[in-house]
């Protein structure tokens, strides 16, 4: 299958190539696409070098699927052009996520909604993906009423410039700033821009995307999203109130058997999810499971995942795998 990766030279695009290769997605020809200033650069895929082409040449190459990670503006402009040419777009930007005519997909939860007519498919925000993968099996069993989440997000979620800022600061070197403030030895309680309601855009993504992916607008979500000087993945402290009471052992069993989830919950041995361990892994790691003793039917959990993998590249490639497996491409 001919596969285009749009935004192939960025942090997520590079990870897309790595994940496509690792998972042995049946790529017969790779079409790396990027903005004009990257055209002609080379990217590596399965040991071979490929020249980056322009958007127009990417469409002309007629791939079956194009995985976009090129920012919202580019996606708004170009995804419809790819789709009109019959190419299925899986888009990692926020451009189409809340469009009611587009599906927002986490394969473990709602891939069954996909049809051959879906030509632009949205990949959710990283912090939302890892949370819903862990919440969905519990929602099926106990029905979630409300979620209170605080995140501890890796600088890789911002991109290469932010990773460089962190390591420059650590070395004491001058460099460009991705954030308004120093990130090393700091915590920044702002991810993306502030909205009129006082929340950030990232926080409201966690609210709205959760409802859409889990196909249940009755789930109430409130979020505080925070940037920390870490590169391995995003961590989340999640407090979940259920309609029904739960048994903690049964919760552990449900999570152990849930697709894409790894239970890492052995407090006696001080084993719990950490970005250091989640880095370069495709799963969502869950631990620190305990009853919230301050109110009934409420659980505390700690969720960690590599945001560039399950939070971006892996989820997008899994969507492509689903489409390919069902003959929808």
38 is in an annotated binding site: yes
CA–CA gap between residue 146 and residue 137 (Å, rounded) = 15
Task: Report the nearest approach of ligand 2RA to the CB of residue 308 (Å).
Answer: 9
Are 23 and 317 spatial neighbours (Cβ–Cβ below 8 Å)? yes
Q: Count the Cβ atoms, other than its own, within 10 Å of residue 4.
A: 26
Looking at the Cβ atoms of 169 and 203, the one nearer to ligand 2RA is 203
Within 155-174, which residues bind ligand 2RA (CB under 6 A)? 157-158
Looking at the Cβ atoms of 202 and 283, the one nearer to ligand 2RA is 202
126 is catalytic: yes
Given candidates 31, 129, 191, 258, which one binds ligand 2RA under the rule CB under 6 A?
Answer: 191
Near ligand 2RA by CB under 6 A, which window of 111-119, 152-160, 176-184, 291-299? 152-160
Sequence-distant (≥ 6) Cβ neighbours of residue 86 within 8 angstroms: 62, 119
- By CB under 6 A, tell whether 43 contacts ligand 2RA: no
Sequence-distant (≥ 6) Cβ neighbours of residue 13 within 8 angstroms: 5, 6, 7, 32, 34, 69, 70
Q: Which of 16, 19, 126, 284 is labelled catalytic?
A: 126
Looking at the Cβ atoms of 84 and 280, the one nearer to ligand 2RA is 280
- What's 310's DSSP letter? I
Which string of x and - marks every residue 293-322 that binds ligand 2RA (by CB under 6 A)? --------------x---------------
**Which DSSP string do the residues of 248-300 spell out, in sequence order?**
HHHHHHHHHHSTTEEE--BGGGTB---HHHHTT--SEEEEEEEE-TTSTTEEE
Q: Which ranges constitute the DSSP H helices of 179-269? A: 201-213, 248-257
| Tokens read off for 230 | 């870490």
73 is in an annotated binding site: no
Task: Report the nearest approach of ligand 2RA to the CB of residue 115 (Å).
Answer: 26
Near ligand 2RA by CB under 6 A, which window of 16-24, 79-87, 150-158, 273-281? 150-158
CA–CA gap between residue 288 and residue 267 (Å, rounded) = 7
Instruction: Say how many residues touch ligand 2RA, by CB under 6 A.
Output: 9
Within 193-252, which residues bind ligand 2RA (CB under 6 A)? 202
CA–CA gap between residue 41 and residue 221 (Å, rounded) = 43
Helix pair 11-22, 314-325: axis angle to 10 deg: 40
267 is in an annotated binding site: no
Which string of x and - marks every residue 97-136 that binds ligand 2RA (by CB under 6 A)? ----------------------------xxx---------
How remote is the C-alpha of 122 from its chain's centroid?
11
309 is in an annotated binding site: no
Binding residues: 9-12, 37-38, 97, 153, 227, 307
Binding residues for substrate: 153, 227
Which positions are annotated as active-site residues? 126, 234
Query: Site residues (CB under 6 A) for ligand 2RA?
Result: 125-127, 153, 157-158, 191, 202, 307
């Amino acid at each position: 299958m001919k596969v285009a990766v749009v935004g192939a030279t960025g942090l997520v695009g590079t990870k897309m190539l790595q994940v496509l290769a690792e998972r042995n997605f049946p790529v017969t020809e790779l079409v790396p696409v990027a903005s004009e200033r990257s055209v002609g650069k080379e990217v590596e895929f399965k040991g071979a070098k490929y020249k980056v082409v322009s958007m127009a040449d990417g469409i002309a190459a007629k791939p079956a699927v194009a995985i976009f990670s090129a920012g919202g503006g580019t996606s708004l402009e170009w995804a419809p052009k790819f789709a009109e040419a019959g190419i299925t777009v899986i888009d990692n930007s926020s451009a189409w996520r809340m469009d009611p005519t587009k599906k927002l997909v986490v394969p473990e939860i709602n891939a069954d909604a996909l049809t051959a007519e879906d030509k632009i498919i949205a990949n959710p925000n990283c912090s939302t993906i890892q949370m819903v993968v862990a919440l969905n099996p519990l929602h099926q069993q106990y029905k979630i009423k409300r979620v209170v989440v605080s995140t501890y997000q890796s600088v890789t979620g911002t991109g290469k410039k932010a990773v460089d800022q962190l390591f420059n600061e650590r070395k004491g070197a001058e460099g460009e700033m991705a954030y308004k403030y120093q990130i090393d030895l700091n915590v920044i309680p702002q991810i993306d821009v502030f909205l009129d309601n006082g929340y950030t855009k990232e926080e409201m993504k966690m609210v709205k995307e959760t409802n859409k992916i889990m196909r249940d607008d009755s789930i109430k979500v409130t979020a505080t999203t925070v940037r920390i000087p870490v590169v391995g993945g995003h961590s989340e402290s999640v407090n979940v109130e259920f309609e029904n009471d739960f048994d903690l052992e049964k919760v552990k069993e449900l999570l152990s058997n849930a697709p894409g989830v790894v239970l890492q919950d052995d407090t006696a041995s001080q084993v719990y999810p950490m970005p250091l361990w989640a880095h370069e892994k495709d799963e969502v790691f869950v631990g620190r499971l305990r009853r919230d003793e301050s109110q009934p039917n409420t659980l505390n959990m700690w969720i960690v995942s590599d945001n560039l993998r399950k939070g971006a590249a892996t989820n997008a490639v899994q969507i492509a795998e689903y489409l390919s497996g069902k003959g929808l491409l």
